[in-house]
């Protein structure tokens, strides 16, 4: 039972220490796409630790599970894991608790996806009421259009789905000058092409299901911040940092986000500051190194889980 316990300990340490280490790093703001990948690998490693511990605990608790798990394993591999004749109540409790956590995670994710789809359907229906199709307009091709709504509040948002739409209010059109509207469109298309909505669904499901786990709470907060920075970079590469910064100011200057008092959207002012400061990107070699190291993180629990069996074979 040492391997399941080691995996639990490894997952717990990763869940506690990884958010602290990433919070101290300065490079994620300069390379949000790499930071998104690092976060996904860290969370994947934590989940993999718990999943492997669940499987091995179940193998220790029930002989039927052990027989199926090690059915094709060479002689001596089962003995290398020291599972014993029965794992006892500790193994049963661990396996059931982790299985329950996995089912709860799946249920939260399913709920999040279904609620997001319901919101999209509601928003789409409201959009058709406020901006109905013109006579002769093809409904199948209407999803690619830019939808303009009458409104006194400057706003622009991307409505995801099978036929995504960029919705802009008339007040926003009055604020956005020159290529700023194109920059906003590029920003929202960056979200759609990178499927940032799925990252947000997963992070919300984990943080909502396990609010006391530090890595999941930090994962949700960082996903909201980093996806916006990544989309800003997509737009700035096409239209320049100043253009997208001015577009952000135009859309948000009436919302108090740039004032001296705390704002409900603190990331907006940080995004504008980042765009105007124009900090240089990391070198290609360092980006590659960070990506490679992050990819190896989920391999650590695999090595821990497979090491006894590999040692027995060799």
| pLDDT by 10-residue block (mean), the chain, 314 residues | 86 92 91 95 94 88 79 74 70 87 89 84 75 60 66 80 77 86 88 86 89 89 93 92 90 68 66 88 93 94 86 74
User: Rounded to an integer, what distance in angstroms lies between the CA atom of residue 42 and that of residue 225?
Assistant: 17
Contact call for residues 250 and 184 (beta carbons, < 8 A): no
Q: Strand 165-169 to strand 156-159: parallel, antiparallel, or no bridges (unpaired)?
A: antiparallel
Please tell me the predicted confidence (pLDDT) of residue 91. 81
CA 280 to chain centre: 25
User: Rounded to an integer, what distance in angstroms lies between the CA atom of residue 266 and that of residue 281?
Assistant: 23
Please tell me the predicted confidence (pLDDT) of residue 73. 74
Phi, psi of 165 (to 5 degrees): -135, 145
Query: If you count them, how many residues does the chain have?
Result: 314
pTM of the model: 0.85
Give the pair of three-digit tokens for residue 297.
């993180």
Please tell me the predicted confidence (pLDDT) of residue 259. 53
Please tell me the predicted confidence (pLDDT) of residue 218. 93
What order of strands is seen across the sheet that includes strand 146-149?
A: 146-149, 165-169, 156-159
User: Rounded to an integer, what distance in angstroms lies between the CA atom of residue 293 and that of residue 25?
Assistant: 15
Please tell me the predicted confidence (pLDDT) of residue 178. 84
Please tell me the predicted confidence (pLDDT) of residue 58. 87
Please tell me the predicted confidence (pLDDT) of residue 261. 47
């Amino acid at each position: 039972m040492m391997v399941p316990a080691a995996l639990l300990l490894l997952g717990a340490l990763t869940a506690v220490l990884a958010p602290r280490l990433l919070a101290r790093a300065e490079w994620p703001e300069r390379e949000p796409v790499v930071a998104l990948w690092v976060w996904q690998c860290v969370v994947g490693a934590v989940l993999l630790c718990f999943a492997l511990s669940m499987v091995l605990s179940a193998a220790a608790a029930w002989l039927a599970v052990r027989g199926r798990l090690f059915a094709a394993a060479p002689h001596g591999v089962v003995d290398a894991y020291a599972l014993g004749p029965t794992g006892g109540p500790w193994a049963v409790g661990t396996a059931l608790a982790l299985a329950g956590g996995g089912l709860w995670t799946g249920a939260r994710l399913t709920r999040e996806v279904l609620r997001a789809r319901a919101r999209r359907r509601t928003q789409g229906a409201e959009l058709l009421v406020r901006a109905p199709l013109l006579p002769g307009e093809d409904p199948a091709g209407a999803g690619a259009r830019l939808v303009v709504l009458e409104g006194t509040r400057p706003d622009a948002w991307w409505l995801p789905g099978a036929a995504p739409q960029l919705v802009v209010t008339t007040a926003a059109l009055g604020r956005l000058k020159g290529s700023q509207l194109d920059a906003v469109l590029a920003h929202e298309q960056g979200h759609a092409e990178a499927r940032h909505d799925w990252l947000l669904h997963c992070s919300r499901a984990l943080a909502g299901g396990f609010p006391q786990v530090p890595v999941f709470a930090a994962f949700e907060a960082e996903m909201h911040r980093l996806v916006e920075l990544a989309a800003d970079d997509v737009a700035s590469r096409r239209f320049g940092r100043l253009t997208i910064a001015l577009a952000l100011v135009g859309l948000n200057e009436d919302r108090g986000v740039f004032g001296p008092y705390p704002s409900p959207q603190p990331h907006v002012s940080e995004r504008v500051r980042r765009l105007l400061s124009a900090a240089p990107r990391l070198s290609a070699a360092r980006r590659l190194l960070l990506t490679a190291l992050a990819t190896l993180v989920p391999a650590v629990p695999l090595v821990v889980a497979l090491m006894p069996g590999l040692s027995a074979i060799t």
